[in-house]
Every structure is written in structure tokens, then in C-alpha cells.
Amino acid sequence: MKKVGFIGLGVMGLPMCRNLMKAGYPVVAFDLKREAVDEVVGEGAERGSSPQDVASRVEVIITMLPDSPQVREVVLGPAGVLEGAKPGSIIVDMSSIAPGTSQEVAEEARKRGVRMLDAPVSGGQPGAVAATLSIMVGGDESDFNECYDVLKVMGSSVVRVGDIGAGNTVKLCNQIVVALNIAAVGEAFVLGAKAGVDPNVIFAAIRGGLAGSTVMNAKVPLVVERKFDPGFRIDLHIKDLANALQTGKALDVPLPFTGLVAQVMQALRVQGKGGLDHGAIMTFFEGLAGVEIRSKN
């Protein structure tokens, strides 16, 4: 088995790292939060002192970081991955960032003889824990094939979608669909609730038809029970939509509804709801109508 470096032990990264270890992969781990590193070291990982140190000790370096600036810093910055990575090693950036950043970082890596894949994920913390993430991979096909077994440990779906940057482009498409779907479900169920129909009845009636979706199945039962513990926080979805809008601008692609939902999320952040699950997008429409999507039972 390849020795794997894992940099970024946050809400998603920590369970992903654990799944690699459970599958028998030797792991060298690093995070700015020492407590997170202590956890995985206690479970059998080796401790890395910096991204450079991690990269110098492994063949595959996985990064799972908040956004583009952090990826640039960790890979290209002082004591970064490229200062330690051996020629021929592979960086697998599983962060959700701007596709252009993936391409820029990959080009710098190429100059050092280091390969790179961008491999963002969908599925939230539950998917990270259960190893059922959908992983969208951009990069050279031979590099993808080389890393497939490693990625399959963390996800139930691992698909190469094109060259470097394509992974994050597909992730942005995914995030647009999810955000707009939650908003549409919110508007619809608020209308039904205001009219006096039990949301559970609405859900049962329409989930099997064309309006049904994975988003509806996942989010409506939680909203009805007023459960907004984060599987995927509004703050993170705001970041993804900002990257989508930035990419759309660069490609001359208008994204009017994406911009609208991004503003809805920003309003919720101002209300102190940025740390809630993105299902709480529905509460914006509740506020407009003065009603809650709540079970009558």
C-alpha cells in the first residue's frame, strides 16, 4: 500500500483520514490544530510537523482545506508541500476551490516534477464518516488510475471528469444544483405550510414524482423536526457559490439564480445562521411568510 499524507483534519478531513487508516493505509497527518493530529496519532497515524515534512515522507499527499488561499499557502508557501515533495509524487487536493486555482497550483507542481489531481467531494460530514462521498476528479487519467484505490476508500463514487480543474468545475455545478434545490423546496413547503397543509403530507405526496429529489429526501425531514446541526454549513456553501460566481464571470456565463441564492445565504449569515446546516436556507422563506415548516403531529 502507498504511504499517504493527509493535511487538513477538519470536519470532513478527520473522518476521511480515519477511513484511510481503517483500510490499512499508513498515514502521516498534519493540521494546524494539534488536538486533531493528536487524535489520529493516537489511532496509529504518524505525526507530521509541517506540510513540507508530510510531503517528504509519502508518495501521495492529500489536502482537505477550506478554500483557494489555504491551498495555495499549504502547497506553494514556505514549508509547503512542494518544498518537501519528491519528484513523481502526487498531490490529491480534495478541497472545494476555484478551478482556476487548481490549474495554477498544478502548473507550479509540474515544474517541480510533482503530479496533481483535484478531487473535491460531495456528501457532507455524514458521507465522510460513512465513506460514501461522491468524488469528482480532474487530472491525467494514469494519475487517476494510480490513486483510484486510495480514493475509493473514502467514497462510494469516484469518477474522473476531465483534466485538472474539471473536478472543481463539476463540484461547483453540484453546489449550484443543491443550493437552488433547497431554496425551491423551501419556497414550496412554506407555501404549503401557510395554506395549512402538514409538511409531512406534502413530502409524502410529491417525493415520488418529478419534484422528488435527494435534496428533498435529506433535508425536509430534518427541517420539519427543526434539526439544523451542520452536515454542511451555510458558511461553506457561501464559499462554494462565491467560487461558482467567480468562475462564471471568468467564462462569461451569467448565473443569476446562483447569485440570488448566494444573497439569501449571506442574509442568513448576517442573522447568525452561517454555522447551521444549509437546509436552514428554508428558514429565510419562513421568515418572509411568518410561518414554519413544522410537523403538526
What are the DSSP calls for 80-147, one per residue? Answer: -HHHHPPTT-EEEE-S---HHHHHHHHHHHHHTT-EEEE--EESHHHHHHHT-EEEEEES-HHHHHHH
CA–CA separation, 83 vs 76, rounded Å?
8
Which triple of cell numbers denotes residue 82?
512542494
In contact, 248 and 255? CB cutoff 8 Å: yes
In contact, 171 and 240? CB cutoff 8 Å: yes
CA–CA separation, 69 vs 181, rounded Å?
28
CB neighbourhood size of 76 (10 A): 15
Region label for 29, one of left (φ > 0), alpha (ψ between -120 and 50) or beta (otherwise):
beta
Q: What residues contact 269, with CB distance under 8 A and at least 6 apart?
A: 234, 235, 238
Selected catalytic residue, list 111, 171, 227, 239: 171
Q: Is 22 a catalytic residue?
A: no
CA–CA separation, 138 vs 207, rounded Å?
33
CA separation, residue 71 to residues 46, 89, 151, 224 (Å):
22, 17, 19, 37
Catalytic positions, written as ranges: 171
